[in-house]
A and B are shown apart, each in its own frame.
Chain A
Amino acid sequence: EVQLVESGGGLVQPGGSLRLSCAASGFTFKSYAMTWVRQAPGKGLEWVSEITGSGSSTHHADSVKGRFTISRDNSKDTLYLQMDGLRAEDTAVYYCAKYYGSGSYKSWGQGTLVTVSS
């Protein structure tokens, strides 16, 4: 059974940094692209970042480009999201998700809440 467990969320001041982790199990982690999707309180879903299985290629939404970095450690079956220069508008639940087929996401974690506030 695929399991994705996010951690690392919390309260951070504007301009601060945070690193989210997503521990994966139940599948061959290195074989799948992985994604971060976020959801601000009471709002819709926003695609954030994606990384290939090898980690050789990444993509980021314009809203986080230059501030967030997605990475992975295939020896630890773990996905990361390094978030720097955090802003109030980055406040959201952050989900990691496993790539499925041509680009949809079948397996999701439970989410971790990031709150950016002074």
Chain B
Amino acid sequence: DIQMTQSPSTLSASVGDRVTITCRANQSIRSWLAWYQQKPGKAPKLLIFDASSLESGVPSRFSGSGSGTEFTLTINSLQPDDFATYYCQQYSSYSYTFGQGTKLEIK
């Protein structure tokens, strides 16, 4: 199975900050990567698919980049609603796998 490693595991930031979360695959997944946001007690919400395509309705302050084995999720000008846990997911080959998550906390 393809292993996905996110960093950092926890990130402290303030409203208005720009933050970046990294996701690395242990083999090439081309651009078959999605990013999700999850809040406590809720289902995940799709933010980015195919590494860099913004899902409809997701604010433009979210962006994704990368291909192959290294990917990033960037959030510009953090808003209070953005404090949540973020997961990457590869869908290059079964079993599809998620990263372990990055918890974005208010500093």
Contact = CB atoms under 8 A, between A and B. Distances in A.
Interface in B52-80: 55
Contact of A47 (B55, B89, B101): B89
Given A44-B100, A59-B94, A59-B95, A104 B34 contact: yes
Given A104-B34, A111-B43, A45 B87 contact: yes
A62 interface: yes
Given A104-B34, A104-B49, A44 B98 contact: yes
27 contacts: A44-B98, A44-B99, A45-B87, A45-B89, A45-B98, A46-B98, A47-B89, A47-B97, A50-B94, A60-B95, A61-B95, A62-B1, A101-B50, A102-B32, A102-B49, A102-B50, A102-B91, A103-B32, A103-B91, A104-B50, A104-B89, A104-B91, A105-B44, A105-B46, A105-B89, A110-B43, A111-B43
Interface of A: 35, 37, 44-47, 50, 59-62, 95, 100-106, 108-111
